[in-house]
Amino acid sequence: MLINVFLPCKRKSQRVPNKNKRKFANVSFGLIKIKINQLLKAKQIDKIFLSTDDKKIIKFANSLNKPKIIVHERKKKNLSTANTQTQVLIDHACDLIKEGHILWTHVTSPIINEKIYDKIILKYKKCLKKKYDSLMTVTKLGGFIWNEKSPVNYDNRRVKWPKTQTIKKLNKINSAVYLNSVENYKKYSDRIGKKPFMYELNPFYGLDIDGIDDFILGEYIFKNRKRIVPKH
């Protein structure tokens, strides 16, 4: 089974300037360097398709001289704007990767490492033999969750304030990993199929760095990961 990583990485970041390549946890070239090193170490990954419009990141990736990395320089502006829709990137991933399976991951998920990538891929392979056709990582979300009018994960007409341990937990998609076949990408025009397996990640591993608060928190966790992050 051919496992290809799709790693999108645009140059501009609205909330944290140069987020993908600024120093992170004392690592020069930061998040992009950390993520590429993790993916290179993963035994279950065959190819890494890095899609970016950032010339410095392209230069860095090419300097590694790793046949496993395939660098695509984005020429189309619609792939790298603040308004770029995920659907555009889904179509782009399908254009780049012609066969096998696509593992979509992000530079902004620095805590998930090569060992977890390998575990996720092995689980995916098992899931395909059952009723599932794809996989995405989730973080369990518990407690009292409401929309603007009423609870969404419990019935307060029966018990106004139930014990939190009795409330059904929801799955929050953390975007650390989406795994799907190229065939399904073409069939459904989506990065998941119709029956995705929900692979639970500890909140540490599911951390996605969006704003500066995430960046600061992520640095602390990454620096202290051997001490505070539980084994997966």
Within 10 angstroms of residue 17's Cβ, the number of other Cβ atoms is 9
Domain count, the chain: 1
Eight-class DSSP state of 128: H
Q: Convert 8-62 into a string of H (helix), E (strand) and C (coil).
A: EECCCCCCCCCCCCCCECCECCHHHHHHHHHHHHCCCCCEEEEEECCHHHHHHHH
Residue 124: which of 94, 91, 102, 96 has the closest Cα?
102
pTM assigned to the model: 0.93
Per the listing, tokens 């790693």 go with 7
Domain that holds residue 133: 3-228
Q: What is the pLDDT of residues 140-174, one digit of tens each?
A: 998 999 999 999 999 999 999 999 989 989 999 99
Q: Residue range 56-70: average pLDDT? A: 95
Instruction: State whether residue 132 is helix, strand or coil.
Output: coil
CATH number of the domain encompassing residue 154? 3.90.550.10
